[in-house]
Each structure stands twice: as C-alpha cells, then as structure tokens.
Amino acid sequence: MRERRFFARTELAAIGDPNEVMSYPVPTEWVDAYVASRLCPRPLNAFINVAPVSNLFGLGELANPFVAHTGYDTDERVAALIAKGAGHPAAAPIGAERCTFREVDETLGR
C-alpha cells in the first residue's frame, strides 16, 4: 500500500523572521499530538530575515517588526522554499546561494 501513496511524507512548514514577534515554530510535540501518524508528518521550521536590518543611530542593529511580519510575500527565498523545499538536490538554487540550512533532530533529547 505504501507504494500507492501520492505523498510519501507530509511537510508541515512554518516560515518566520526572527524579528517578528508573531511567528513561532511547529513543535514536534504538537505534530505528535495533533497530526495523524499515517500522514508521515515532518515539521519544517524556517527562519528567514525578510526585514532589512538597519543601524539605529549607533545604538545597535534593528529590523522593523512590521516589515518582518508583512515582508514574506516579497522575499524570493520564501517563495522558493514553499515551491521547492530546502536541503535536498531539487531545491531552488536561490536557497543554496542565499541561505544556510541546518537540520535538527528534536527527538534526540527524548
């Protein structure tokens, strides 16, 4: 029956800017509790700085939180991540050129 599946895995993606106070990752515990295991779910949490960082009069670097919240639709990396995924050979080239991917196994601490 496995070979007849349309999808081998269900990716649950959360894309956020670290400067946005409204973004949060998809925790593995949430996936385990609320998503059917027969869907072979895998959470993908991507953090992309969509808001440009500026120097605030020598006081430090700051990104506009409003731009961090609304800038996803104009960032080509976000579109590439949604369309092609990340961290595999068929991913969009812009991801490899302008992003660093780190796969983390959250189950190691359990």
Q: Could you tell me which of 14, 16, 12, 15 has the C-alpha nearest to residue 43?
A: 12
Q: Where are the domains of the chain?
A: 2-101
- DSSP structural state of residue 72: G
Give the pTM. Answer: 0.68
pLDDT for res 39: 86
Confidence of residue 7 (pLDDT cuts 50, 70, 90): low
The torsion of the CA quartet 4, 11, 75, 62, rounded to 10 degrees, works out to -170
pLDDT for res 34: 93
Which residue type, as a one-letter code, is found at position 35? Answer: V
pLDDT for res 44: 82
pLDDT for res 105: 66
pLDDT digits (tens, 9 = 90+) for 61-89: 888 889 999 999 988 888 888 888 777 78
Q: Could you tell me which of 63, 78, 76, 57 has the C-alpha nearest to residue 15?
A: 78
Confidence of residue 106 (pLDDT cuts 50, 70, 90): low
